Every structure is written in C-alpha cells, then in structure tokens.
Amino acid sequence: MNPQTEYVTLPVGDGTSMRAFVARPAAKPAAGLLVLQEAFGVNAHIRDVAARFAREGYLAISPELFHRTGPGFEGSYTDFAAVMPHYQGLTSAGLEADIRAAFDWLQASSDSRSLPTGAVGYCMGGRAACHAALAVPLACAISYYGGGIAPNPMTPGLLDRLKDLKAPMLFFWGGRDQHIGAEQIQAVTGALRAAGKPYVNVEFSEADHGFFCDARASYHAAAAAESWALTLAYLKTHLAAATRKADA
C-alpha cells in the first residue's frame, strides 16, 4: 500500500521556517525516522526513500536543509556547481536547528510525545546524521558515505565532536569512492574507537560514492540491496529496544 505523503512547514529555532516532506505509514507508526538529504535536495530520490521507509512502518520526515539559501532546491546529479552555494551556506548550528525542528515535529505527531526515532542520511545527509546523533535523543543513526565527517577541503569535519554522540551509529562506505578515501574512513572509526562509542562500520569494496541512489550513474544494485537490509535490521534492533525502554 502506498504511504500518504505531504509537505509540512516547520518553525525553526533560529526564526526561519522550513518545508519538509513527510511519508506516513498505513498503520500507526511504531517509530519515527529523519531521512536526511543528499546535497541535491529533497528530490525525487529522497522522497522515494522516505516513502520506502514509510512502507516499512516508519513515520518519515525529510527536512529541506537548504531552506535558508534555496527553498525547494532540487539539483542535478551532473551539476554539482549549482549545489555549491547552498552547500557552502550550511552551518553546524543551522543543521542542528533544522534537525531539532524535524525531530520535534515527529514527537508532536505521536500520541505519547515519546516516539522512538532514528536518523538515516545520504552523502551530505550522512554527515547530517552525525549532527542528529549529537543534537537530539535518537535511538540510532545511519550514515551513508557521509562526506565531511572527517576533514576535507570543504569542511573542517566533526572528529572532535564524535565523543559526544548520543546514539549508536552505522556507517556505510564505498570502497571505490574517490571523494572519501580510506584515510578519512579510518579517521572516523579511530575517533569513535578512542571515544568508546558504539558503531558498526561497513565497506562495500566494489561500490562507489552514491551507490544507494538509483538515479545516479554510480548506483550499485548489490550494495544498495545489502545496505537496505542492514539498515532495516539496525533500525529494528535499536528502535525496538527504545520502545521497550519507553514502555517499561
């Protein structure tokens, strides 16, 4: 059954307002999910992913993280130059304010205001998933090929903040990713290990950056299918545990 979808407008703590795409499951949701966009916006692919999660029973929300510089922006996968002004306009404070707004909406949409919630993000959203695990009380977070967690030419990274993660995390990487090299992955896992944070690290040796997105040339069907199964299992494990804790 197709989920019910809609756009909602959320007030953000910095005084801005932000549109978000919502996909609702057919039955009462057992958990909420932040679905965090690639650098190309809350486009057809991200909306489809949110709907896929809704079909699995999650109340999914995808906030438009570029709302300050380009409300409604949807970029082309072959034109990263058009993305750059919006990407460069992001700040950690702004991202975390947006995440809090989306998280609060999920909680307000629950009868108990304690809806167990996770986060999953892709590319730029993979870094945003780390911000989510820093900013709000998640049951878990999942990062797909998250650029900018380790330092790169465009961002100083988040390594010094990983010690403050509030949730376990699952990381997916592509072994053929030229944007995120082995040294960056090792920097992330090294920081997590040093801080004693719970995490799972998965590398698909034959996959490139963006391997989950079937709208990109780098789509890798096997890695996408396997990571989807792992994602659902990880969410089920941690969100079910959060539900049991809330009900205790």
Catalytic residue ranges: 123, 177, 209
Helix or strand run (H / E) with residue 52: helix 44-55
Name the residue type at position 14.
D
Compute how many other C-beta atoms are within 10 angstroms of the C-beta atom of residue 164. Answer: 12
Question: Do 138 and 234 meet the contact criterion of CB atoms below 8 Å apart?
Answer: no
Q: Please report, as a single letter, which amino acid is at residue 81.
A: A
Residue 50 is encoded by which pair of tokens? 């949110």
Positions of E strands within the chain = 4-11, 17-24, 31-36, 58-63, 117-122, 140-144, 169-174, 199-204
CB of 168 within 8 A of CB of 140?
Answer: yes
